[in-house]
Amino acid sequence: MPKSCRVLNGNRLSGPFPMVLTNITTLTDLEIEGNEFYGSIPPEIGRLIRMEKLILSANEFTGPLPAALSLFSNLTDLRISSTNFSGRLPDFWGRLKRITTLQLEGSLLKGPIPFSISELTNLSDLRISELRGSGSAFPNLRGMQSMKKLVLRKCSISGSIPSYIGNWKNLKHLDLSFNKLNGTIPPSFDGMRGVDYIYLTGNELTGNIPGWLLTRNKITDISFNNFTTGSSGPSPQCPIESTVNLVESYSPEMNSLNNVSPCLKRNFPCLASSDRFSLHINCGDKEATINGTTYEADTTPKGASSLYISPGSNWAFSSTGNFMDDNNPDDNFIATSTSKLAIPNSELYTKARRSPLSLTYYGLCMFSGSYTVELHFAEIVFTNDSTYSSLGKRRFNVFIQGRMVLEDFDIEQSAGAVGKPVIKTFQTYVSDHTLEIQFYWAGRGTTGFPNRGSYGPLISAISVTPNFPIPSGKSRSRASIALVIGIPIIAVFTALVVGIYCIKKQRKSSMQKELRALDLQIGSFTLRQIKAATRNFDTANKIGEGGFGSVYKGLLYDGTIIAVKQLSSKSKQGNREFVNEIGMISALQHPNLVKLYGCCTEGKQLSLVYEYMEYNCLARALFVEQYKLRLDWATRHKICLGIAKGLAYLHEESAIRIVHRDIKASNILLDKDFNAKISDFGLAKLNEDDNTHISTKVAGTMLVFYIREELSWSW
């Protein structure tokens, strides 16, 4: 029987999936990428059992991935990126034994990555990114010796990086960025001389940076991790003139060391001696003066894996990622308008800086205070005619100070046309002299139109102005004179303050070292991350108050929603006890226990970072009038069963057996699918308020357990 092929890429077709295609049973190749099809994929697609290549990317399909795909035993190439498919990633992959290319990026699918992926030993190109929901350990890919391109980006993968990856002889591209990977870089990676790109950005990797990595002459990015000083290679300095990006790669506890370059430290400390009150950058182009304001030039061709610091050291940018599949080793990270722009202030929009994955601009040495941030955009890559060059769709996310301010941002859609400028204005606050603006591609939009490599963030100009009066030169001089006169008076006071600070610093450092020594499967968050996520503990984000302290909703820079529990200042517990409790809590992992993401030991208060539970607690769902939920019997049974499973795990199944002893409706949290999860287990010792009635005991002592009466009469 002859093979049949239908290639309908980039035709602006819309409507539901064409049912007529399901009748072409000889079809072996179906490509409908870059259209506007919507709705679910009908089960009738299962008739196409001869299918070898199926590309559905860059459409608006919704619903779960159809189970009928498991019938395509001849399939070798499946691409379903940049869609709105949702639900859990199915586990039928083991039936697709012949598949060599599998791309599942930028959808609404949930993890974890199923075990059956390990059966696809013929894979040479595997790309999974932006998975939602709970995470998982690194999938078993040991048998995939043919792997050339492996992308597992932002899939909430935890644990260590498997050493067997370093033994893959055919590997060319490795991207494990923006996960929760910990431990050290495997020694076997020293042998990956043929790998052109290695991205380990945005994880929780620790230990020393390997010396071989610092001298590697191919693209490598290990920025935003938790490394410590010491290596067998040269000590990196700022600016880094190499193909290795190390910006903010060191642990927060390294910030106090003078022998560590500022660009390697967390939060990118100030390099200059004076404060800045504004920032204006003409991204990707030469210097321009607009209405009396000078926008600094930004013309360096750097990209892929690089850090650039401006000549005046008042701003910098870090770029991560390369444009995949464009078959061009020399990617262009500056876009130029395809036509002359007849718009006001065209000097700001003729060129733009772009990135295939993540682009972060830093405003350095900024004076602490409130600022207005203006981001200038114009779509200058795609055209506004009906030609092939007009088919592209660009979508990306924008974060300021770690908070997402734009999601799935489409420049053309926002401006109303290509080549037309649009300015987005935001308010932010700088408290540690560093302003951070990140542009991030989350796998959305087209990647193949009008040509391969036309995707990712695009920024034309950045303007940052203060919302406060700038101190005058005279007032600064008077302040300086006052300081000089007052130095003898405050010397003794300063010595006392420094002494107290050193003692506290030593205690904090001790706690951080003890946490690291436990090799926990959780992350360490900086106070800046926590403040950015919760908008500086804004009362509007407060979602609860308990015996242990206040709870706030937060949003991390990668889009993860979290719950931050501030431990009460009443706690008299010492560092060692705190570390031991965190070790115990992190060791308890179960679907019906609230997951602990990590902790923050900076500042005056200790904080715990948990997964966010959409329906809050059972008590609110049952008794608080404005939040009451209509729970049918099946849902109530599901909640009861979840509570029972969680308690059974705590009491009998976990390695560290815990008796909760305070099960009540307010300690039962509900996620968006009404899965019940037990909270506040193992926390009793973190709060030693004499009045508290909460207690948790290690199993083996007297078992005291009761169910609050509301759990019975309210049902």
Two structure tokens written together for 168: 């893959």
Three-state SS for 198-223 is EECCCCEECCECCHHHHCCCCEEECC
**Cβ contacts of 402 within 8 Å, gap of 6 or more:** 436, 528, 529, 532, 533, 556, 557
| Sheet of 77-79, strands arranged across | 4-7, 27-31, 53-55, 77-79, 101-104, 125-129, 149-153, 173-175, 197-199, 219-221, 244-245
Q: Is residue 565 annotated as involved in ligand binding?
A: yes
Q: Could you tell me the two tokens for 695? A: 């207690």
Q: Which of 100, 140, 101, 142 lies closest to 122 in space, CA to CA?
A: 100
Q: Are 355 and 303 in contact (CB under 8 A)?
A: yes
Instruction: Give the closest residue to 131 by CA, choosing from 396, 442, 405.
Output: 442
Which residues are bridge partners to 572 per DSSP?
Answer: none
What is the SS3 assignment for 436?
A: strand
Catalytic-labelled residue, pool 125, 285, 662, 680:
662
The pair of structure tokens assigned to 162 is 């498997």
Residue 641 identity (one-letter amino acid): L
662 carries an active-site annotation: yes
Q: Which amino acid is at 274?
A: S
Tokens 């049902």: give the residue: 715
Which residues lie closer than 8 Å to 643 by C-beta, 6 or more apart? 592, 663, 668, 676, 678
Q: Provide the angle, in degrees to the nearest 10, between the axes of the packed helices 473-517 and 575-587.
A: 60
457: cis peptide before it, omega within 30°? no
Q: Cβ(288)–Cβ(463) under 8 Å?
A: no
Which residue do the tokens 């951070």 mark? 436
Q: What is the CA radius of gyration of the chain?
A: 27
CA dist 33 and 54 (Å) reads 10
Smallest CA-to-CA distance from 196 within 395, 14, 22, 330 is with: 330
| 3-state class (DSSP) for residue 667 | helix
Active site (catalytic) residues: 662
Q: Which residues are annotated as a binding site?
A: 565
Q: Which residues are annotated as a binding site for ATP?
A: 565
